[in-house]
Amino acid sequence: MTIAIDENIPLLAEAINNEHNDFQVLRFQGRTLTKEALRDCVALCVRSTTRVDESLLFQTPVRFVGTATSGSEHIDHNFLRASGILFHDAKGCNADSVAEYVLFAILLWAEKRGFIRDKQALRGKTLGIVGYGHIGQRVARLALKMGLRVIVSDPPFLDAGGEFARGTEAMALQTIAQECDILTNHVPYTLGGNYETVGMFDDGVFKTLRAESLFIHASRGGIISESALQNAIEERHIFAAVDVWHNEPHINAALAQKCLLATPHIAGYSHQGKINGSQMIARALERFVERVLGKHLSVDWGVFEDALEQAKPRFKHDFTDHQSLLEALRESRKFEADNSQLLASLAEPNAGASFDILRKTYPQRHEILLGTE
């Protein structure tokens, strides 16, 4: 029996490909996986570049699908349920990584506007957070430590009985857009239903944002109207940090060139975030093999533990010293280099392939705020 694993999922194959298991491991490139390659596979582990649906899995022996990502819009959940295929995601694995991206974008915006030289330049500025899941909650906690006023909108979270953190304020989306200096969104990709998010950030929302405010987009492509954001940048001088794009890998080059920060869907690509995702899928695989197949899967957990130990931050930060925090994130995550590489790739003959290569060959970058709360 074979377990198919995307070659960009770090250490997962290494952790299970050992002499104690009678499973073979098949490595594949995310966008090139075919049904024929899965003819002997009982389990499939993917990232967001692989569309998992009937055309890929019908009449294959696959009975488990895991995605080492927090989002799962690349998965046809209805087909998996109807086919009795177990599914597991890695929700929350990269929350710290994306939160660092959001903080960096805020601090870069403050620098561009010329007021970060004040040690507590952002104190009293208003941050609006739409979506209060793993990432939104992390962003809220860090923003409060920085002295920002934090307002939040997440109707489904509240309807399910959730409570926002002490120190935050609840508001509707339109009100938040009018109130905030910075707006960030961390909602899932939801098409239809009572809480549809596709296209929720449209021309009406962007027209209510204050001139020279900052909009951060690090959730999912399709959540915003990219043309409306581009108009807001051009007409009202909105600043934008965009990491996720509609129609990836063929992204909106005109929008990217106008952003304060444009990156190739790598906000969650920290070393720690990737390892967290691999560990979560390894645990789910272990349960599947034991409970469904009646076999034992030997996982070398030390592979993950050693990688995380080597990356553990050795220092803490003063969140009220915004200039120092910016420089620390600038050095560790190098998002400005990512911006430059993405813009350069847009001029290449096959920009879509270049987008994928930037993600596939992304260098190892470490979180620095882990454990500082």
Range with the poorest average pLDDT among 62-66, 112-116, 213-217, 355-359:
112-116
Predicted local distance difference test score (pLDDT) of residue 118: 66
DSSP 177-190: HHH-SEEEE-----
Inside any domain, residue 314: no
Q: Which stretches of the chain are DSSP H helices? A: 12-16, 54-57, 77-83, 95-112, 134-146, 155-159, 173-179, 203-208, 226-236, 253-256, 271-291, 302-310, 322-333, 335-345, 351-360
Q: Is 248 considered catalytic here?
A: yes
Q: Is residue 365's pLDDT more than 70?
A: yes
Mean pLDDT within 204-223: 96
C-alpha separations of 109 from 104, 274, 322, 359 in Å: 8, 27, 12, 24
Residue range(s) defining the domain that contains residue 343: 95-268+320-360
pLDDT, tens only, 271-282: 999 999 999 999
Q: Based on the domain organization, do 125 and 224 belong to the same domain? A: yes
10 Å CB burial of residue 298 (0-12, 13-18, 19+) is: middle
Same domain, yes or no: 214 and 123: yes
| Mean pLDDT taken over the chain | 94
Structure tokens at 77: 């959940």
Residues 245 and 262 in one domain: yes
Does residue 367 fall inside a structural domain? no
The residue type at 22? D
CATH code of residue 259: 3.40.50.720
pLDDT confidence tier of residue 316, bands split at 50, 70 and 90: confident
Question: Do the Cβ atoms of 271 and 307 come closer than 8 Å?
Answer: yes
Say whether pLDDT at 313 is over 90: no
Is there a single domain that holds both residue 46 and residue 180?
A: no
Q: Rg of the chain over CA atoms, in angstroms? A: 21
Exactly one of 63, 220, 271, 333 is catalytic; name it.
220
Residue 259: pLDDT band (50, 70, 90) is very high
Dist CA 25 CA 4 (whole Å)? 6
Tokens of 188: 């899932």
Q: Kind and range of the H or E element at 261?
A: strand 261-262
- What is residue 231's predicted lDDT score, i.e. its pLDDT? 97
In a domain, 179, yes or no: yes
Cα–Cα distance for residue pair 195/190, rounded to 1 Å: 7
Q: Say whether both 81 and 222 belong to one domain.
A: no
With 0-12 CB in 10 A as exposed, 13-18 as middle and 19+ as buried, what is 135? buried
Rounded (to 5) percent helix, strand, coil in the chain: 40, 15, 45
Question: Does 221 have pLDDT greater than 80?
Answer: yes
Q: Are residues 74 and 212 in the same domain?
A: no
What is the DSSP code string of 191-207? -SSTT--TT-B-HHHHH
Catalytic choice (149, 248, 271, 359): 248
Question: Of these residues, 88, 265, 271, 365, which one is catalytic?
Answer: 265
Strands 126-130 and 41-46: unpaired
Amino acid at 144: L
Model confidence at 115: pLDDT above 90: no
Pairing of strands 149-153, 126-130: parallel
Same domain, 231 and 247: yes
Q: Is residue 209 part of a domain?
A: yes
Q: What is the mean pLDDT of residues 106-114?
A: 94
**Average pLDDT score over residue span 13-38:** 93
Q: Residue 373 pLDDT more than 80?
A: no
Q: Is 265 a catalytic residue?
A: yes
| Three-state DSSP class for residue 369 | coil
Residues 174 and 242 in one domain: yes
Quick one: 328 and 294 in the same domain? no
**Do β-strands 41-46 and 2-6 pair in parallel, antiparallel, or remain unpaired?**
parallel
Q: In which band, very low, low, confident or very high, does the pLDDT at 314 lie, cut at 50, 70 and 90?
A: low
How large is the greatest C-alpha to C-alpha distance in the chain, in angstroms? 63
Same domain, 218 and 246: yes
pLDDT given for residue 235 in this prediction: 96
Give the pLDDT of residue 315.
63
Let me know whether 160 and 174 are in one domain.
yes
Residue carrying structure tokens 């969650």 = 268
Count: domains in the chain: 2
**Based on the domain organization, do 70 and 203 belong to the same domain?**
no
Query: Could you tell me what percent of the chain has a pLDDT over 70?
Result: 97
- Per residue in 168-212, pLDDT tens? 999 999 899 999 999 999 999 999 999 999 999 999 999 999 999
Contacts within 8 Å (CB) and 24+ apart, 70-73: 70/94, 70/95, 70/134, 70/135, 70/268, 70/277, 71/188, 71/189, 71/220, 73/188, 73/189, 73/220
Please state, in angstroms and rounded to a whole number, the distance separating the CA atoms of residues 253 and 256: 5
- Rounded percentage of the chain residues whose pLDDT exceeds 90: 87
pLDDT recorded at residue 119: 64
pTM: 0.92
Q: Which pLDDT score is estimated for 122?
A: 86
Q: What is the pLDDT of residues 68-99, one digit of tens each?
A: 998 898 999 999 999 999 999 999 999 999 99
* The residue to which tokens 């995307």 are assigned: 6
pLDDT, average across residues 273-293? 96
